A and B are shown apart, each in its own frame.
Chain A
C-alpha cells in the first residue's frame, strides 16, 4: 500500500499553461461571470458587457504573445498531442475574440432595450468562444467534437434566449434538432475513421494511413467517414445543401446572437473543416476535393439567388452569409489541392483572412440591424429601413459602407477577402470555380443594393411615423464604428494584414 502511494507512476502530460492562456482567460471569465453574478445583486448598467470586452481584449493580447512565441520557438502540440499550438490556432483565437468583443458591445444596448439585461448571454458568448477556439486548435477528432458541442450547445441556448419572442424559441428548437442531427453525423464520421485508423489523433491518423494508403486507398469505411465529417461540418458552416436551418435561425434569434453565429460560429466551423481536411486527412484530398468543389458551387449559387427574393433583412443577411460561406469554400478547395504538401499554398491563409474580415463586417452589420429592429426585435423587414438615410444619416452611411464591403467593392475589406480566395483558386487552376464565385458576387450585389435603396431612396410611407424612432446606444454605436473603421482601414491599407495571414503556413501535428 505504502509502495503504491510512494511510487509516482501516474504522470500526466506536461501542460504549457501559457500556451493555453488565451483559452483559459475566456473560460475563467465566463465562470467568474456566472458565479459572481449569481451571488451579487445586479451589476451597474453595462458592466456585464464591459467585463466581456475586457476578457476578450485580454485574450487578444495573450494571443499575440503566443503568436510571437511561435515565431521564436516554432509550432508544437499541447496537452499530450490533443491541442495544436500554431499560427492557425492563434489567428482563429484572435478572430473569435474580436467577434465576441464587438458582439458584446452591441448586445449591451440591445438587452437593456428588450428588458432582458443580465449576465447569461455574455457568459454564453465566452463559453461558446471557448468551444470555437478548441475546435480550431484541436489536434484530435474527439477534442474537435467536444469543442463543436461546447459551441453548439451554447448557441442553442442563445438562439432561444429572447424569452418574449416566440420566434426566438422556434429558432432555438430548429437549430437544436438540426444541430444535434449534424453533430451525430460528424460523430459517426469520427467513429468510422477511428475504426480504420486506430486512433482519433490527427498525427496518428496520418501515420497509420501513411503505409497503407497506396494499397487500400479506396477503403469504403474511411471514405464514408470522410463524407460524414463533411456533412457534419457542412451543417455548421451553413454550406448548401445543408444550409436550410440558417435563414430561420438567423431570423428568429436575437439579432446580436445572429451576428455572433455568422461570425464566431461560422469561423470556428470553417477552422475545424480546414483542420480535419488538411491536418488529418491529406491522403484523401483527391477524394474529397470534388465534394468541396460541388459544395462551394451550390453554396455560392443558393446563397446569392435565394437572397434576392427575401424581404426580411435578417433572412437576406443569412443568405448573404451562405454566399460568403461559398467564397470561403473556394479557398478551402484551393487549400485541398495542396493538402499534405510541406509548402501550403495560399488557400488556407486566404480563408483565414476571409474569416477575420467577414467576422468584423457581419458583426457590425447585425449591430446596425439590432438597433433598427426596435423594441421587440421584430422590425427587420425592408420596410423598417425606409427613410433611415433621412432620419439617421450617420447610421445609414455606416450600413452602406458595411453592405458595400460585403458586396466586395474595392477599398473595403470585403474586396481584400474576396480577392484573396479568388487568387488562391486561380493559383491552383480552379478557374471554373473562380468564375462562378465572381458571377454570384455580382448577383449578391443586387441584394445589398436592395437594402441600400430602402435606406436612401424609398420615402417613408404612411404608418412609418407610427414606428418607434431608432435609438443608437453608445456602446452599440462604438461596435458599429469599430467595425466600419476596420473595414475601411483594411480596405485602404491591407498589406500588413495580408502579410500576417500569409505567415500562417503549416499546421502543427
Chain B
C-alpha cells in the first residue's frame, strides 16, 4: 500500500519542469509546424503552473496576475503564428519543418 503524501509546492514545480521538458523535446524532435507551435505553448503553460505554485507558496498575488499577462502574450503569439503557418501551408500544402530548406548555407 503506497501512502500518498499531501501534495506540496515541490510536486507542482516538478510537474511544471516535466511539462517544460516535454515541450523542449517536442520542439527539437517534431516536424509538423503546428505541433512545434503546440510544444511552445506547452512550455508557456508549464511556466504558468510554476508561477501559480510559487505564488501560492509565497502567499503573493503577483505571480497569479502574471499568468494573465502570459496568457495574453500566448494568445497574441497564436494569432501571428497561425497566420504564418497558414500562409506557408497555402503555398506548399503538407510542408514539414524539413521541407523548409530554401535558406541554408
Asked if B100 contacts A174 (CB within 8 A), the reply is: yes
Asked if A311 contacts B40 (CB within 8 A), the reply is: no
Chain B residues lying within 8 Å of A170, measured Cβ to Cβ, are 88, 100, 102-103
Q: Which residues of A contact B (CB under 8 A)?
A: 142, 145-146, 149, 153, 156-157, 160, 163, 166-167, 169-174, 176-177, 180-181, 183-185, 187-188, 190-192, 194-195, 198-200, 247-248, 251-252, 310-312, 315
Chain B residues lying within 8 Å of A142, measured Cβ to Cβ, are 66, 69
CB of A396 to closest CB in B, whole Å:
24
Given A174-B100, A177-B37, A194-B62, check contact A160 B84 (CB 8 Å): yes
Inter-chain CA distance A310–B85, complex, in Å, is 29
Given A167-B103, A173-B33, A180-B81, check contact A191 B54 (CB 8 Å): yes
Inter-chain CA distance A191–B90, complex, in Å, is 38
* Contact pick for A169, options B37, B80, B87, CB 8 Å: B87
Asked if A312 contacts B100 (CB within 8 A), the reply is: no
Interface set, chain B 62-103, CB cutoff 8 A to A: 62-63, 66, 69-70, 73, 76-77, 80-81, 83-85, 87-88, 91-92, 97, 100, 102-103
Inter-chain CA distance A247–B24, complex, in Å, is 22
Residue with the greatest number of chain A CB neighbours at <10 A, chosen from B54, B97, B102, B103: B103
* Contact pick for B76, options A149, A199, A200, A252, CB 8 Å: A149
Asked if A251 contacts B88 (CB within 8 A), the reply is: no
Chain B residues lying within 8 Å of A157, measured Cβ to Cβ, are 80, 83-84
* Contact pick for B46, options A167, A188, A248, CB 8 Å: A188
Chain A residues lying within 8 Å of B62, measured Cβ to Cβ, are 194, 199-200
Asked if A194 contacts B80 (CB within 8 A), the reply is: no
Inter-chain CA distance A180–B50, complex, in Å, is 18
Chain B residues lying within 8 Å of A146, measured Cβ to Cβ, are 69, 73
CB of B66 to closest CB in A, whole Å:
5
Asked if A176 contacts B80 (CB within 8 A), the reply is: yes
**Chain B, residue nearest A174 (CB):** B100
Given A157-B80, A177-B27, check contact A149 B73 (CB 8 Å): yes
In order of increasing CB-CB distance, the 10 nearest A-B pairs are A184-B43, A195-B54, A180-B40, A248-B103, A191-B50, A172-B84, A149-B73, A187-B47, A170-B100, A167-B102
Residue with the greatest number of chain B CB neighbours at <10 A, chosen from A160, A187, A190, A252: A187
Asked if A192 contacts B88 (CB within 8 A), the reply is: no
Asked if A160 contacts B87 (CB within 8 A), the reply is: yes
Asked if B43 contacts A188 (CB within 8 A), the reply is: yes
